Amino acid sequence: MPDQTEYDYFSPNEGPDCTRCAEARPELEKIRDFALAQKERFAAQALHPYVAGKTALHHSSCSTLEDLAQQGRPLSWDEETESPADVFEGELLGFAHADVLSAYRPNFTVMTAQEAAGWVRAHTGPRGGTRYRLCKVCTPDLPAAHPPPPTSAPPG
């Protein structure tokens, strides 16, 4: 991570020739695309009833997830609203020079019930111990266990 003191946020943008910004652009585009896809999924809560953080499973209506709906949200200044391109360029500056994200935070994965069941399986140890917790605010039910897809046996 770059030293945050080496970049002054109040100095003018280095412009399109900034090497650090050019190198960081593809990674930030991936982060942005993931965050905005999660935002779209989050808007369809009936289809995507679960949200997973690093170690916790939530119901998509959980109040602790309010910032997920704000991913990539443009800011308004004196009745003028930033365009999505302006949001990205502003985010790129901080990401490239100080390793900071504010508009796009890829902290959560919004899931269908089947995807959540797979997430639970992936976060359950071989002896049944869990490497996750259920949110204490929304207390989601565990998704119905879906059996793994059948494996095809070699011809005998």
pLDDT tens, position by position, 43-74: 899 999 999 988 899 999 998 887 666 666 66
pLDDT band at residue 15 using 50, 70 and 90 as cut-offs: low
Q: Which residue has the higher pLDDT, 4 or 70?
A: 70
Return d(Cα 74, Cα 97) in angstroms, integer: 21
Q: What is the pLDDT of residue 105?
A: 74
pLDDT tens digits, one per residue of 86-109: 888 888 888 888 888 877 776 789
Kindly tell me if the per-residue pLDDT of 14 is higher than 60: no
pLDDT band at residue 151 using 50, 70 and 90 as cut-offs: very low
Count the alpha carbons within 13 Å of 1 in the hemisphere toward its beta carbon. Answer: 9
pLDDT tens digits, one per residue of 104-137: 776 789 999 999 999 999 998 888 888 899 999 9
Q: What is the pLDDT of residue 39?
A: 85
Residue 140 φ/ψ region, left for φ over 0, alpha for ψ in the -120 to 50 degree band, beta for the rest: beta
The mean pLDDT value for 145-151 works out to 50
In the block, tokens 């020739």 appear at 17
Question: Other C-beta atoms within 10 Å of 44: how many?
Answer: 12
Query: Can you tell me whether residue 39 is helix, strand or coil?
Result: helix
User: Can you give the pTM of this predicted structure?
Assistant: 0.70
